[in-house]
């Protein structure tokens, strides 16, 4: 008998690529003995000191991304980590799959769908939970380094350690046995001593289904 593996998944709700990976992880839960524990990180925090170096469009994205991630961390702080998965899905289905723009109305709709109070949308324009946001972000990014973004995934490793990695960046999200093979392969390379990077140029955007 094998024991269940907990995979910590740090996400920024505004990132379409993290969204793709998260949908793959939900599929992994079906085909491997894995449970996802959702965690919050922030591209806005990651890039706050280098906005002048970024392309204008991406810098603007980072400025606008504060709101959604603050709502997520507020939900976690007030209602526990178990609130994050349903909220992330409700947000992502509207923005990424639905193609809608971020707005208070959208956030309130997602909160209601996730069984959370609509008043949590107030956190989008508040710094009240920024300390908790930074702590959660720092925990995730501290496992992989500042040169990557979201998502970060961490699983238990040998001798009580952890195996952590950025990504994988994939589209569309693999299903069934394809999801299982990608999970197995990702763990294999991520757990190889001295392995750091495997990458190719993206030639297609996120494919939502």
- Residue 125 is predicted with a pLDDT of 97
Q: What is the pTM of this model?
A: 0.94
- Residue 22 is predicted with a pLDDT of 98
DSSP, residue by residue, 125-143: G--TTHHHHHHHHHHHHHH
Contact 94, 140 (CB under 8 A): no
- Residue 36 is predicted with a pLDDT of 98
- Please give the Cα distance from 52 to 131 (Å, whole number): 24
**How does pLDDT run along the chain (209 residues), one tens digit per residue?**
457 899 999 999 999 999 999 999 999 999 999 999 999 999 999 999 999 999 999 999 999 999 999 999 999 999 999 999 999 999 999 999 999 999 999 999 999 999 999 999 999 999 999 999 999 999 999 999 988 999 999 998 877 789 999 999 999 999 999 999 999 999 999 998 888 888 888 888 898 87
- Hey, what domains does the chain have and what are their CATH numbers? 5-190 (3.40.30.10)
Helices 16-31 and 176-190, interaxial angle, to 10°?
100
- Residue 2 is predicted with a pLDDT of 58
């Amino acid at each position: 008998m094998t024991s269940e593996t907990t995979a910590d998944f740090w996400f920024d709700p505004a990132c379409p690529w993290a969204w793709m990976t998260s949908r793959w992880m939900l599929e992994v839960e079906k085909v491997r003995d894995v449970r996802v524990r959702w965690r919050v990180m922030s591209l806005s925090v990651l890039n706050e000191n280098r906005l002048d170096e970024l392309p204008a469009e991406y810098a603007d994205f980072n400025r606008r991304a504060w709101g959604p991630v603050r709502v997520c961390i507020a939900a976690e702080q007030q209602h526990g980590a178990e609130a994050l998965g349903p909220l992330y899905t409700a947000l992502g289905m509207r923005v990424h799959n639905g193609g809608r723009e971020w707005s208070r109305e959208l956030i309130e709709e997602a909160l209601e769908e996730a069984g959370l109070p609509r008043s949590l949308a107030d956190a989008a324009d508040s710094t009240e939970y920024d300390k908790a946001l930074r702590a959660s972000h720092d925990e995730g990014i501290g496992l992989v380094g500042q040169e990557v973004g979201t998502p970060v995934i961490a699983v238990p490793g040998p001798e009580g350690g952890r195996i952590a990695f950025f990504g994988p960046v994939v589209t569309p999200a693999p299903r069934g046995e394809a999801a299982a093979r990608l999970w197995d392969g990702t763990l294999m390379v991520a757990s190889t001593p001295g392995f750091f990077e495997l990458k190719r140029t993206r030639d297609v955007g996120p494919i939502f289904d």
